[in-house]
Chains A and B, each alone.
Chain A
Amino acid sequence: MNRISPSKPVVWTGYNFAYLDEQTKRMVRRALLKALAIPGYQVAFGGREMPLAYGWGTGAIQVTASIIGPRDRLKVIDQGSDDATNAASIRRFFRSVTGVETTASALDATIVQTRHRIPETPLRENQVLVYQVPSPEPLRKIEPRESETRKMHAYAEYGPMLLTLYEDIARYGRVASAYNCPVIVNERYLASPSPIPKFDNPKLSHSPAIQLFGAGREKRIYAIPPYTSVRSLDFEDFPFEPSRPDGRCSLCGSETSYLEEVIMDDVGGRMFVCSDTDYCRRRREGKGEGPVRAARAKA
């Protein structure tokens, strides 16, 4: 039996490299290869229970565990931040079970595991972006039955989905969702981009990097290969608009990055800062990514 104490921050001994046993890794790896060969198609895989809770990144953790090697440098972000508690927890898990180097830099990382954001820094060839996906099925809200959604994907019957979006437009004058906006991958499969803001949707398309999606609880893996067309669902008269909060980052002055609202006090004072903390830090340190404007917090 393994005599380990996970509460001690050390590299765990007694577990296989990257926690999963080799048979499980092979199963996940085979699923990944088929996922890349059929862009946007959800491959059902024999997802295992992980030591982190379902809904907290177990699918992506299994993907990362199946691809990671000693020469990798791993970055983990949640809401764009490396220091969010769940990102820190996942990073610590991988340090414990692999001993690999971790980094906050999107430039240095070979694997980036993310929840809800795509880094502002453009990714390169052979970098791997692993998305944590809570609900991989974009059709689930209109059709709860897996047996039916599987048929809809098989025959590309996406009319009902478009109809739902159009009903939004009829009611609200626009598509009433601001995140997790479904995409068509390689002009064939409807897929969920995971709950990223629609601001990030354009980054999915024709990225030089490899994008892998893991949904642990629903036991699905899918992928967007590099240089692959990813189109956000829209209509000719209502084109997709990747929206961004107006204004600029109070810390680095960026006018193009995705901003997060921080409440400063209880009388309505607030400021906006980059949600991508690595990008923001690098700009403040003057390391590329455009000039830093002199900026002060509004409050």
Chain B
Amino acid sequence: MTSIPDYAHLKSGFADPVLDSQGVFRTIMSAIAYPGRIVTIGGSVRGPSPLSTATTAFCLTLADGETPIWLDAGARNAEIPAYLRFHCGAPIVDDPGGAQFAIVVDAAAAPRLHLFDAGEDEYPDRSATVCLQVASLTDGAETRWSGPGIEHAIFPRVTVPDWFWSDWIANAAAYPKGIDVVFTCGDAAIALPRTVKVEA
């Protein structure tokens, strides 16, 4: 028997689920459309620790009963799975390869990118979006991003594990298959769709 989570102490979701999720979605859409730009999402939402405001808002906006979520070890605490089940109705899965959304709160210990679902040749959209919570979006090593959504080039400084950019080259090589990434930190986010070419 699994014990019933204590829903009485769950943190709340959006104050206005309809309009808040619309606002957050538009910002996420803008982030994906203009990769590399820092956006802020989530406002006053406070999810269970260690989910950042932006990660929480991302989940509340996009996840539901049709989107299996994978959580890293840091997110598998007493509160977060219950929170996501209650507010999103999302099934939590054990295999990163079976998830439509992956939530990584400890970027340093993140699984390598090939472990996530990159979709199929005929259905490259059936791939995972990985929400990677990082220490900083501005203090990492400078990288040069180019591709759709970027007029010439943009130079984000996201702190990522040292293997990340070489994994990203492999991800880009599989195009149109591939995963998409959203980096979050506090209430800020930067999107990295699979089309972005990164020179680290």
Contact = CB atoms under 8 A, between A and B. Distances in A.
B29 interface: yes
A38 B194 contact: yes
Given A67-B26, A186-B195, A154 B62 contact: no
- Dominant secondary structure at the B interface: loop
Given A26-B64, A34-B125, A67-B26, A41 B34 contact: no
A70 B33 CA distance: 21
Interface stretch (A132-140, A224-232, A270-278): A224-232
B121 interface: yes
Best-buried of B25, B121, B129 by chain A (most CB within 10 Å): B25
B159 interface: no
B21 interface: yes
Contacts of B34: 125, 226
Nearest to B20: A69
Contacts of A37: 32, 125, 180, 193-195
B150 interface: yes
User: Which of B64, B129, B151, B176 has the most A CB atoms < 10 Å from its CB?
Assistant: B176
A125 B150 CA distance: 11
A22 B29 contact: no
Contact of B22 (A30, A43, A68, A228): A68
Contacts of B148: 39, 186, 225-229
B33 A36 contact: yes
A41 B125 contact: yes
Contact of B17 (A22, A30, A69, A226): A22
Contacts of B40: none
B21 A227 contact: no
B6 interface: no
Which secondary structure dominates where chain A touches chain B?
A: mixed
A281 to B, nearest CB: 29
Interface in B92-130: 100, 121-125, 127, 129
A92 interface: no
Interface in B47-93: 61-67
B121 A36 contact: no
B155 to A, nearest CB: 16
Contact of A67 (B18, B29, B67): B29
Contact of A69 (B19, B64, B66, B100): B19
A112 interface: no
Contacts of B41: none
A223 to B, nearest CB: 8
Interface string B11-40: 000000111011101101110111000000
B18 A16 contact: yes
Nearest to B28: A33
A155 B122 CA distance: 8
A40 to B, nearest CB: 9
Nearest to B64: A26
Given A16-B18, A37-B193, A227-B148, A30 B122 contact: no
Nearest to A27: B66
Contacts of B32: 33, 36-37, 225
Contacts of A252: none
A36 B124 contact: no
B22 A41 contact: no
Nearest to A208: B151
A210 B195 contact: no
A154 B121 contact: yes
Interface in A173-209: 186, 188-189, 208
Nearest to A16: B18
Given A153-B122, A186-B195, A227-B150, 15 more contacts: A22-B18, A25-B25, A26-B63, A33-B180, A34-B127, A36-B32, A37-B194, A38-B194, A38-B195, A67-B29, A150-B122, A155-B121, A188-B175, A225-B149, A226-B151
24 contacts: A18-B22, A23-B64, A23-B65, A25-B21, A25-B22, A25-B25, A26-B63, A29-B25, A29-B61, A32-B29, A34-B127, A36-B33, A36-B149, A41-B125, A44-B123, A67-B22, A67-B26, A67-B29, A68-B22, A155-B121, A208-B151, A210-B29, A228-B148, A229-B148
Interface of A: 16-18, 22-23, 25-27, 29-39, 41, 43-44, 66-70, 125-126, 150-151, 153-155, 186, 188-189, 208, 210, 225-229
A-B pairs with the 9 shortest C-beta distances? A37-B193, A34-B125, A228-B148, A154-B121, A225-B149, A225-B148, A69-B22, A154-B122, A43-B125
